[in-house]
Amino acid sequence: MTLLIQTLIQGISLGSIYALIALGYTMVYGIAKMLNFAHGDIIMVGAYTIYSTIALAHFPGWLGVLSAVVFCGVLGVVIEFLAYKPLRGAPSLNVLITAIGVSYLLQNIALLIFEGKQKAMPLGDFDFPDLKVGNTGITVTGEVIFTITLTVVLMIALTLFINKTKMGKAMRAVSEDKDAARLMGINVNRTISVTFAIGSILAAFASLCYGMSYAYIKPTTGSMPGIKAFTAAVFGGIGSIPGAMLGGFVIGILEKLSSAYISTQFTDAIVFGVLIVMLVVRPTGLLGKKIREKV
Amino acid sequence: MSERKTVMSVNGTEMFSPPSNILIPTRDEGKKPVLDVRGLGIDFGGLRAVDEFTITVSPTEISGLIGPNGAGKTTVFNLLTNVYKPTRGAILLDGHPTAGKSVAQVNRMGIARTFQNIRLFDQMTVLDNVRVGMSNNIRCNFAESFLRLPGYFKAEKRSRERALELLSIFHMESEAYTLAGNLPYGAQRRLEIIRALATEPKVLLLDEPAAGMNPSETHALMESIRQIRDQFGIAIVLIEHDMNLVMGVCEGIAVLNFGKVIAKGTPDQIKNNEAVIEAYLGRQEKKEA
């Protein structure tokens, strides 16, 4: 019982990280109708930004996080402007391949600057006390509490932003019908830029949480969580924001459960296997919208 | 129907130089046209979809654009809103050329439209659909709205009230929180008009507003179109196949066939125009075989 609860809590924590990343995938897909496979590498960039600010420039921890948030946000907008905007209206395969190219570009730039050797994340400022729950033997680590809290706060903020603000309304309008939105005076390009910025900012926060849990980073750090988060986004129904949150938690819990009860070796096989089953049974994902065919 | 008179073109006038005979309602006499379209044309490959399209619309005129299927009516709307970039010709909106502007910019300059096949934001509420249209008029910056400062609350309240006010034109306030996609067909058409009005246009383009409506709904729509013109003081250009509506509500009509204007005039002039009758009914065959 203790193991189960412990595992579930860890799963929720890992799922939070996936959910934060999955939100970036799903929002960009919803608005720009493209799969931004470079999104996972934004986490890596965020992690290296934190590393550089704290370990190399000796700034305090909060400034490291702030610089990662700003740098990733700007980077997301710049990538969209340079790589994807010129391909607006191009076949989706072209955009997809470009995104993979951007992914490799980011990884190799990081390899040039920081070399392949893994670096320890200098997150001493984010060392929070563990929480022991009575005498049940359950211990919730500080980073787990921090990760879950941060994720919940960010999700509430995002939900309010999408539903309550002018830009949020513009984003929903653009994701439904870009041309009609344009004719209502909405600047579609600016809306897409803001979407990339928000997605990348969430990824920067994810890189903080990831760094806290895994402690070491290398240039390919973003790939695996990126792909898992993509799985989560598809699982929840790509394009759906609640779907990405739900999908993230499901994949995270599934991953922890299977490594605790089945085998750590098979964890990835099980996670991706579940995705395949999902796509066969319910191609639109858990909360995905049905695709309406217009005749 | 208001009194009308025919104004001959006077080239070299300071105000504007209409390229052909135009008709303006007497109340708009002496005012600059809100929409001045000259020699507009677009080619799709070798096909001249629209050619030599010239109209002027005065500031509070209701005008109709009619013609057989495939005549290029919707293409004209797409040109007016810059969705298609014209191959030839110029569009002056309130004296300002729209060439080189983005679709969103042209909307903010003062042209809004509805669609032949309804294109509402189905997953958003009726109220939010209207507020999407309004979002570009009610100012409230990014940081402010995110931090929920008092200015944001005020702007938010103002935008909500304004949206409800607009909905009241068609008595739709009670459906403000319904998802647009769940509205019945007629209500969706009406909501599209309100959403377009929310962008505060000077010219409202209605693409087949009465499509799929029954005669009593169409009659109510005619009243609404006049009411909107009076209340907002804007020009309305509509594409419509329902001749009762066109003849009943339009002050000036342009008839399009194969991308060209074949007739312009008052409803009475159009009804008796040979070229129009031919375009719609075909040429009378000689009684031989």
In this prediction, residue B135 has a pLDDT band, given cuts at 50, 70 and 90, of: low
- Domain ranges for chain A, please list them: 16-221
Q: What is the pLDDT of residue A290?
A: 63
Are A179 and B146 a contacting pair at CB < 8 A? no
Alpha-carbon gap: A70 to the closest alpha carbon of chain B (Å): 15
Domain made up of B4-110+201-281: CATH architecture: 3-Layer(aba) Sandwich (3.40)
Q: What type of residue is A229?
A: A
Q: What is the pLDDT of residue A111?
A: 96
In this prediction, residue B236 has a pLDDT band, given cuts at 50, 70 and 90, of: very high
- Within 8 A of A169 by CB-CB distance, chain B residues are 124, 128, 131-132, 135
Identify the DSSP state of B179.
B
Q: What type of residue is B163?
A: A
- Within 8 A of A185 by CB-CB distance, chain B residues are 104, 107-108, 133, 135-136, 199
Least confident window among A34-38, A95-99, B133-137, B229-233: B133-137
Using only the alpha carbons of chain B, give its radius of gyration. Answer: 20
How confident is the model over A92-111, as a mean pLDDT?
95
The answer on pLDDT for B5 being more than 60 is no
First to last CA, chain B: 45
Where are the CATH 3.40.50.300 domain residues in chain B? 4-110+201-281
Q: What is the pLDDT of residue B143?
A: 57
CA angle, residues A104, A221, A120, in degrees to nearest 5:
130
Give helix B150-167 / helix B185-198 axis angle, nearest 10°: 130
How confident is the model over A99-127, as a mean pLDDT?
92
| Average pLDDT of the residues of chain B | 83
| Average pLDDT of the residues of chain A | 91
DSSP assignment of A208-252: HHHHHHH-EE-TTTTHHHHHHHHHHHHHH-TT-HHHHHHHHHHHH
In this prediction, residue A17 has a pLDDT band, given cuts at 50, 70 and 90, of: very high
pLDDT digits (tens, 9 = 90+) for B173-207: 999 999 999 999 889 999 999 999 999 999 999 99
In this prediction, residue A260 has a pLDDT band, given cuts at 50, 70 and 90, of: very high
What contacts A176, CB < 8 A, 6 or more positions away? B121, B122, B123, B124
Cite the DSSP H helix spans in B124-242.
126-134, 142-147, 150-167, 185-198, 215-232
Cα separation, B155 vs B172, whole angstroms: 22
Identify the DSSP state of B30.
T
B:27-46 residues touching chain A, CB 8 A cutoff: none
For the whole model, what pTM was predicted?
Answer: 0.85
Q: Are the beta carbons of B153 and B116 closer than 8 angstroms?
A: no
Q: What share of chain B has pLDDT > 90, as a percent?
A: 48
Q: Residue A163: in which H helix or E strand, if any?
A: helix A142-164
Residue pointed to by tokens 């072209």: A94
Q: What are the residues of chain A with a beta carbon less than 8 Å away from any beta carbon of chain B?
A: 161, 164-167, 169-170, 172-173, 176-177, 179-188, 289
Query: Which of A167, A176, A188 is nearest residue B121 as measured by Cβ atoms?
Result: A176
Least confident window among A35-39, A112-116, A260-264, B277-281: B277-281
B282: left (phi over 0), alpha (psi -120 to 50) or beta: left
Query: Which of B119, B145, B195 is nearest residue A166 as measured by Cβ atoms?
Result: B145
Quote the ipTM score: 0.80
Burial B29-63 (b: 16+ CB within 10 A, else e): eeeebbbbbbebbbeeeeebbbbebbbbbbbbbbb
CA A268 vs. chain centroid, Å, equals 18
